[in-house]
Structure 1
Amino acid sequence: RGCEKKRRKGRRNRLRAARGRGTLEKEKPPIFGMIQRGGQVVIRMLANVKRATIKPLIRATIEPGTLVYTDEYSIYNELAEWGYGHKSVCHGAGEYARDEDGDGFHEIHVNTMEGFWSLLRSWLRPHRGISQEKLPLYLGFFECLHNIKKRGKAALTGLLGVLFG
Structure 2
Amino acid sequence: MFAATLMSLVVYVIGAGLTLLVPQTGLQVVMAVVAVVLGVADLLNRTPHIWRQVPQSLVRTHPPGMLGLTWGFDLALLFTTQKSTSLTWAALAAALLLHPSFSWLYLVGMTVVGVLTIALRSVTWNFVPLSEFGDRLQPWFVPMRRTAGALLVVVGVLTAAGTW
TM superposition score category, shorter chain reference: under 0.3
- Scaled by the length of structure 1, the TM-score of the pair is 0.22
TM-score in terms of structure 2 length: 0.22
Question: In proportion to residue count, which structure has more strand?
Answer: 1
